[in-house]
Structure 1
Amino acid sequence: MKITAVEAIPYAIPYRKPLRFASGEVSTAEHVLVRVHTDDGVVGIADAPPRPFTYGETQRSVVAAVTELFAPQVVGTRLVEREQVDARMSRTVGNPAAKSAVDMAIWDALGRTVGLPVTELLGGFTDRMRVSHMLGFDSPEAMVTEAQRVRQTYGIGTFKVKVGRNPYRLDVAVVRALREHLGDDVELYVDGNRGWSAADSARAMREMADLGLLFAEELCPADDVLGRHWLVQQCDVPFIADESAVTPADAVRELLAGSATALSIKTARTGFTRSARVHHLAESLGVESVMGNQIDSQLGTVCTVAFGAAFRLTAARAGELSNFLDMSDDLLTEPLQIREGVLTVRPGPGLGVEIDPDKLQRYRSDR
């Protein structure tokens, strides 16, 4: 059960169309596949999606961090020494996606070694999650059309709507159009990616008060400490901390400062080990949690649903599990299938998925 090697393989797969939001735009999945090898011949896998406009990581920096910093610290440890691994990687500041991929690949290797799914190792609450689909920037008509297509094709009934442009002439109109065309039985919530001011956010939320929104997420910058606190205190729906809560300590500060009343958990930035800490924090404080999406690949989505399904709190809400649908291809041997708005945990030990070697050869960008 000892780790003998850690690989970081960069690859690039184009999206069918760019995904646009207030803090950036993504047109190609320039990710890093991380593989952890053990002396038993087991290989655990995970995906690192760099997001330079959010966390400062790039594909090259993830590869460097994993191979030059984390691999030497991890090789020689046992798969069950996850806290030791976390402590060693914590010596390096930042690099959340790189750290998380190493952590999740170790969990996958452990599950494969003992013959149990990661979901059961984490908590085993259920084997499925409802799916929320994220709608990127476009015209109101195009976003309505996209939502209707996704609902009809995949049975998805929850939508996270990207806002953060012009709140009065465009964003509010988008959300209102979605509610009018999709009906009251669909769940809607908004994510500003810090694109509005606190004052604009408050006005926009008042104008959308009749639309039955589920949540509001990161509407204004967390750096605007007083404005953010003022906004959250008058917000009548749970206010989700996402990119302002990169670490468990960040989540504590946001909640105790009154700058958020709910949390987004992203395994792509806190792995399984630290995501469990964020979950336990949310559970003990009685705040809502949702499983977020870092524009994940199918492998990243597998990790998200594996964690989200493991706990009652995170399984209670629809998870953001569908943005892999916008990728032109993927690396898994068996593609994920969303049916009737639900994504199930893959059966089998570990994460229950395998990488197609031909596709990896085709898309890897280090050769």
Structure 2
Amino acid sequence: MNAHITSVEAILVDLPTIRAHQLSMATMQQQTMVIVRLRSSDGIEGIGEATTIGGLSYGEESPEGIKLTIDTYLAPALIGQDATNVNGAMLKLSKVARGNRVAKCGIETALLDAQGKRLGVPVSTLLGGAVRKTLPVLWTLASGDTARDIDEAEMFLAERRHHTFKLKIGRRGVRDDVAHVSKIKAALGDRANVTVDVNQAWSEVEAVRGIEALEAAGVDLIEQPTPREQRGALARLAARFIVPIMADEGVAGPEDALELVQGACADVFALKIAKSGGLYPMLRTAAIADAAGVSLYGGTMLEGSIGSIASAHGFCALAQLAWGTELFGPLLLKDDIVTARPLYRDFDLHLPEGPGLGLEIDEDKLAFYRRDKRG
């Protein structure tokens, strides 16, 4: 055994956002993430991030629960394990705990970061190699105010930071949401793509009415309009409309992907390393989509820099990524806990250079924002 795992630390970190971020199920004023620091006997440390959205309003794992799971179950199972064998470590964790994909993703990221540093190669090389060095990144217009959203989109177009914009809808009535989106699309015209994310908020009847109007308005993509359990509804909507329908909450890992392609439930899959359980499970999910002719989109759990760059390494290794990404999480944060924040330029996120993730922890910032050392 070349090196063994000596410690795994899970740290709750609260970072303020630049503005309120509205989703159909919650309004975020800050983002809470679990930072994983995995140390090995050869002196190499790997870092990872486990982040979800809105506490428990989005899914089954909360930041506090993720830390508890890592501290109580996952970390003890890893101590003494071969630090260079990522597959072996993750297989052991699959026997220790069922589910808990977000927590496992943070650990897998830390293992891959450490192994990349050990070998002197980027994480993307461990995944087979990057076929692209940059990723197109959309921006979510989530203030809920039509005029403000238009102004924000115009600003980012002028700055060459984003040319695709997603609108979070579902909190208001269908008619009000459609009017809001239609005005923004009309203002931006062909200069920008506009997509919507309903976050499961509509019934099938509401979705038919809403998607029909959004399609007529020129919206480019409809994300998860109905509850994730209602796969039949999603399939009927995908068959009925020309505008592509994307599964997000409905597709976590490869098992979901297989069922969705068998039912012809969606035209596009949103990939997220957190909901897949890590980078390797995300690649397995993508392979099923590829085999079925389903297009791919690089999603986010609004991770900070560590989780977003981990996702970027994975998305850069995909053969196809027709719908780009939404790895804008670091841009939503007022501050960060890494020494150099990710580079966004000419509408793209640029993959960092250097081994592993290509990121380093800013110890002072981490000490300031970690929850257990405040007040």
- In the other structure, the counterpart of 2:132 is 126
Picking from 96, 102, 108, the partner of 2:101 is 96
Picking from 51, 55, 59, the partner of 1:55 is 59
* Distance in 2, Cα, partners of 1:78 & 1:213: 49
- In the other structure, the counterpart of 1:347 is 353
Tell me if 1:302 matches 2:309: yes
Q: Which string of whole-angstrom CA distances, capped at 9 and with x for unpartnered residues, describes residues 250-306 of structure 1?
A: 222222223323211112222211111111111121111100011111222211211
Post-superposition shift, 1:361?
A: 0.5
Tell me if 1:331 matches 2:333: no
1:172-321 map, 5 Å: 172-270=178-276, 271-314=278-321, 316-321=322-327
- In the other structure, the counterpart of 1:117 is 122
Q: Which string of whole-angstrom CA distances, capped at 9 and with x for unpartnered residues, describes residues 8-53 of structure 1?
A: 0111111122211112222111111001111111111111113321
Picking from 23, 30, 33, the partner of 1:21 is 23
1:150-169 map, 5 Å: 150-169=156-175
CA contact (8 A) 2:33 2:303 kept: no
* Distance in 1, Cα, partners of 2:248 & 2:44: 34
Post-superposition shift, 1:66?
A: 1.0
Q: After TM superposition, which residue ranges in structure 1, 4 or more long, deviate above 4 angstroms?
A: none
| Count, aligned residues | 366
Post-superposition shift, 1:329?
A: 0.6
SS at match of 1:90: helix
CA contact (8 A) 2:231 2:260 kept: no
Normalised by the length of structure 1, the TM-score is 0.94
Tell me whether 249-258 or 197-206 shows the greater mean CA deviation.
249-258
SS at match of 1:129: strand
* Distance in 2, Cα, partners of 1:280 & 1:319: 17
Alignment RMSD, CA only?
Answer: 1.7
SS at match of 1:159: strand
* Distance in 2, Cα, partners of 1:349 & 1:305: 14
| Alignment-mate amino acid for residue 121 of structure 1 | L
Tell me if 1:358 matches 2:345: no
SS at match of 1:313: coil
| Alignment-mate amino acid for residue 86 of structure 1 | M
* Distance in 2, Cα, partners of 1:102 & 1:323: 20
CA contact (8 A) 2:302 2:327 kept: no
Tell me whether 134-143 or 354-363 shows the greater mean CA deviation.
134-143
Give the direction of change, closer, same or farther, for the CA distance of 1:267–1:224 in structure 2 (3 Å limit): closer
- In the other structure, the counterpart of 2:87 is 83
Normalised by the length of structure 2, the TM-score is 0.92
| Alignment-mate amino acid for residue 368 of structure 2 | R
